[in-house]
């Protein structure tokens, strides 16, 4: 029974730490260097639907960054990066 309680306690700690680590990782993607790199890639894209999507996502990423929403910023930045590669 003691071993079972120990396993449950370890699992509880793992579930509590995992979301914090995921948020930290997503926020790490939202940096001025990454924004600048993605903006440059967008500027070099040919006009079209993908470029419009990328421009909207980078604008949303910048807005999220200004409002301190680092997770949302990282998500929008990721979508903008994907739009620049056509994936």
pLDDT at 5: 55
Q: Angle of helix 49-66 relative to helix 32-43, nearest 10 degrees?
A: 160
pLDDT at 59: 93
Chain segment 2-38, per-residue pLDDT in tens: 555 554 555 554 455 444 444 444 445 788 888 888 8
3-state secondary structure 11-31: HHHHHHHHHHHHHHHHHHCCC
Please say whether the beta carbons of 20 and 70 come within 8 A.
Answer: no
Domain spans of the chain? 2-85
Flag whether the pTM goes above 0.85. no
Chain segment 33-44, per-residue pLDDT in tens: 888 888 999 999
Q: Which residues contact 85 (CB under 8 A, 6 or more apart)?
A: none
């Amino acid at each position: 029974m003691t071993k079972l309680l120990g396993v449950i306690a370890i699992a509880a700690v793992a579930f509590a730490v995992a979301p914090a680590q995921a948020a930290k990782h997503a926020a790490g993607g939202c940096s001025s260097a990454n924004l600048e790199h993605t903006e440059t890639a967008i500027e070099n894209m040919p006009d079209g639907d993908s470029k419009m999507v990328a421009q909207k996502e980078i604008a949303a990423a910048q807005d999220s960054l200004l409002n301190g929403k680092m997770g949302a910023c990282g998500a929008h930045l990721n979508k903008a990066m994907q739009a620049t590669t056509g994936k």
